[in-house]
Amino acid sequence: MTIRPTSSPATNFSVALLAEFVRLGVRDIVVSPGSRSQALALAAAEFDKQGLLRLRVRIDERVGAFLALGLAVETGSPVLVVTTSGTAVANLHPAVLEAHHSAVPLIIISADRPDSLRGIGSNQTTQQPGIFGTAVHRTWDVDVPTGAAGEMDAAAQLARDAVAAVNGPVHLNLSFAEPLSAPFTWHPSEDDVAVQPDAAGEPDYPDFFSELDPGTDNTGTPLSSGAATPLALSPMPATVVIAGTGAGPRAEEVARQLGAPLIAEAASGAHFGPNLVVAYRELLNTANFGDRVARVIVFGHPTLSREVPALIQRSGVETVVVRHPSADDYNPGRCVRLFVDDVAVSGEVTDRAWLGRWVSSSRQLLETESIAPNIDADAGTHAKSELAIVRARVDRRMLAEAVWRATWPHDRLVLGASRLIREVDRVVPGKKVSVHANRGLAGIDGTISTALGIALASQAAPGNGGITRVLLGDLAIFHDVGALMFGVGEPRPRIQVIVGNDGGGTIFDALEVASQAGDGFDRVLLTQQNASIEALAVAYGWRYVSAATRGELDQALSANPEPTIIEVPLSR
């Protein structure tokens, strides 16, 4: 590809940078508008027009960053996020933190003022290098391009360095001076889709950009490489396998190999298989079950119960944590003594009684009395019974089961941080479907934005006719309401946002203080609301459905090509 230099060094640098990202396989970019970042934004628009990048535009940087998070979660590839200077950069911080704690590959590109304008009160200027602290794996502070020889090669090298370091989020802070942009033209060849590195090798440009804390993970810890030998495990009774968010199907595989009960959270990627124990909370607190556990193997990041960390902290329990590429090793009470990169199981399972007791007891605990009439009942009684089922008011368990039942392997399910993810975790049977949740820091922010990114990425795959469903509480939708806005020309994926509306943060009702705090509790923790979700749907151009009964809910969950908000009223 030949790129003709323009009158704007900012444009030349931006085009060379994005072109190298494309050559390295990056395909998604999210842009929020701004003056200082205009060269990057206009270049991204042209790359999108040429079919080299998939551009998404969001006016709210926090929404855009979580959208990028969802794109990266679904594709497993780095996603570029472009913002202007000042508070725009700070708005990325929640998504950057989530990406850091979940090891999601984001490449943050922020535009900045030249160094001469920093620290003197210039408009929209703050200390951007290092703004994300240890939440980014690398930070580069890049000086103003001036059109000097080697700058486009330096831009390409910067892209290569960023992609090589993107084990989680990284930050490129690019200083730009006027002229901030200029039109450019290019001529792609049949073989090239981006600028190629200099044939003479990497150029020497020691003063052009600097990396903060080179050679460390920004916490002072030296970087390591290479894979360690997996820890050898043999099947033995009194073992359980625990799978938290990010565990993936490896946890289910190891549980089967060990003949061990599998405690797999709903968003773990391992909530399936014959060893799955859904009612694990109850059994961990039951005599001759939880108190008999002697060995725990942990995959991913468990966050949905108090029983799991309590088990690991119990005296006499040996815990092995299989490391997940997140910010922190899982270590409740700092009681874990053995962290490994992987495990290898050898030997045959000779005693299946331990597993059988857990699985059968879990199934018995989940059984509920059928409201169907006796098989010998007359037709009229049958009809009344069926009508009663359809007219039954939706409660949390019914909502969790209905959404789970409606979700298939070609779909995506995103669970918000609310009571509902715990309800799903408590009651739904095993099924191998794609479930996501922002559990790195378990915040309610960005849930819809993340889901939209997942929807856009999954539905971009050829032949994927699935739908993305988001199950969340009312506070979560209001916290991320800006995500409902689609700009003119922005694609609208197949997505359902299912809101369990109980009028506030009833998840806090489980706190010990809830029964004692009085009106103050409702004001500062429950934070009741009565805003109209239907009005929001209309304002943002979404289809709206209210589903108060089981019949209405089942009908609402049927696939629809329009972005849809399904409001389900729930009692406190």
On whether both 353 and 468 belong to a single domain, the answer is no
pLDDT in tens, the chain (572 residues): 566 788 899 999 999 999 999 999 999 999 999 999 999 999 999 999 999 999 999 999 999 999 999 999 999 999 999 999 999 999 999 999 999 999 999 999 999 988 877 787 787 888 899 999 999 999 999 999 999 999 999 999 999 999 999 989 999 999 999 998 888 776 655 444 443 433 434 333 334 445 554 433 333 333 333 457 899 999 999 999 999 999 999 999 999 999 999 999 999 999 999 999 999 999 999 999 999 999 999 999 999 999 999 999 999 999 999 998 887 899 999 999 899 999 999 999 988 999 999 999 999 998 854 444 556 666 666 566 666 677 788 999 999 999 999 999 999 999 999 899 999 999 999 999 999 999 998 899 999 999 999 999 999 887 777 999 999 999 999 999 999 999 999 999 999 999 999 887 777 767 767 666 677 777 777 778 889 999 999 999 999 999 999 999 999 999 788 999 999 999 88
Residues 83 and 177 in one domain: yes
Cβ(243)–Cβ(265) below 8 Å: yes
Q: What are the residues whose beta carbons fall under 8 Å from the beta carbon of 446, sequence distance 6 or more?
A: 62, 63, 65, 66, 69, 94, 95, 98, 438, 480, 483
Is residue 165 domain-shared with residue 303, that is, in the same domain? no
Distance in angstroms (rounded) separating the CA atoms of residues 269 and 433: 8
Amino acid symbol at 25 = G
Residue 226 within a domain: no
**Measured between alpha carbons, how far is residue 253 from residues 273, 276, 329, 515 in Å?**
9, 11, 21, 43
Q: Report which residue type is found at 319.
A: T
Give the three-class secondary structure for 469.
Answer: strand
Instruction: Please state whether the peptide bond connecting residue 235 to the residue before it is cis, i.e. omega within 30 degrees of 0.
Output: no
Whole-angstrom CA distances from 387 to 315, 371, 551 are: 53, 11, 9
Residue 248 forms part of a structural domain: yes
CB 478 within 8 A of CB 442: no
In the listed set 212, 243, 275, which residue is the last one of a domain according to the structure?
212
Domain finish residue from 180, 212, 244: 212
**Nearest-angstrom CA–CA distance, 436 and 414:** 5
CA pair distance 551, 564, nearest whole angstrom:
17
411 and 548 housed in the same domain: yes
Instruction: Judge if the upstream peptide bond of residue 429 is cis by omega within 30 degrees of 0.
Output: no
Distance CA 550, CA 392 (A): 6
Q: Token pair for residue 211?
A: 């990396």
Residue-number span of the structural domain to which 303 is assigned: 231-366
Question: Given 317, 334, 366, which residue is the final one in a domain?
Answer: 366
Domain for residue 222, yes or no? no
Predicted pLDDT at 180: 81
Assigned domain for 150 exists:
yes
Residue 124 lies inside a defined structural domain of this protein: yes
Q: Is residue 516 part of a domain?
A: yes
In whole angstroms, give the CA distance from residue 157 to residue 148. 16
The CATH number assigned to the domain holding 298 equals: 3.40.50.1220
Whether residue 193 is found in the same domain as residue 336: no
Count up the domains in the chain and report the number.
3
Neighbour count for residue 265 (Cβ, 10 Å): 30
Sequence-ordered list of residues with C-beta below 8 angstroms from that of 373, at least 6 positions apart, any chain: 381, 382, 385
8 A C-beta contact, residue 570 and residue 471? no
Helix then strand then coil, in percent of the chain rounded to 5, is 35, 20, 45
Token pair for 37? 């970042």
For residue 212, the model assigns a pLDDT of: 54
Structure confidence at residue 370 (pLDDT): 43
Q: Which two tokens stand for residue 491?
A: 């694609």
On whether both 394 and 519 belong to a single domain, the answer is: yes
How close are the terminal C-alpha atoms of the chain, in Å? Answer: 61
- CB-CB neighbours of 306 under 10 Å: 11
CATH of the domain at 450: 3.40.50.970
Among residues 63, 60, 67, 105, the alpha carbon closest in space to that of 450 is found at 67
- Answer for the pair 425, 452: CB distance below 8 angstroms, yes or no: no
Is there a single domain that holds both residue 395 and residue 357? no
CA distance 425 to 448: 20
Using alpha carbons only, give the angle 32, 62, 180 rounded to the nearest 5 degrees: 25
**How far, in Å, CA of 459 to CA of 452, rounded?**
10
Number of other residues whose CB lies within 10 A of the CB of residue 226: 5
Whether residue 378 lies inside any domain: the answer is no
pLDDT given for residue 186 in this prediction: 65
Q: What is the pTM of this model?
A: 0.89
Examine the domain organization and report whether 206 and 236 are in the same domain. Answer: no
* Biggest CA-to-CA distance, the chain: 89
Hey, what are 129's tokens? 């290098």
Mapped onto helix, strand or coil, the DSSP state of residue 472 is strand
- Residue matched to tokens 């309610």: 444
Q: Please check whether residue 148 lies inside any domain of the structure.
A: yes
Residues 6+ apart with CB under 8 A from 225: none
- Mark whether 352 and 412 lie in a shared domain: no
Query: 121 and 241 share a domain?
Result: no
CA–CA dist 87, 215 (Å, integer) = 29
Question: 55 by DSSP, 3-state: which?
Answer: strand
Do 420 and 557 have their domain in common? Answer: yes
The pLDDT of residue 224 is 37
Whether residue 150 sits in one domain with residue 16: yes
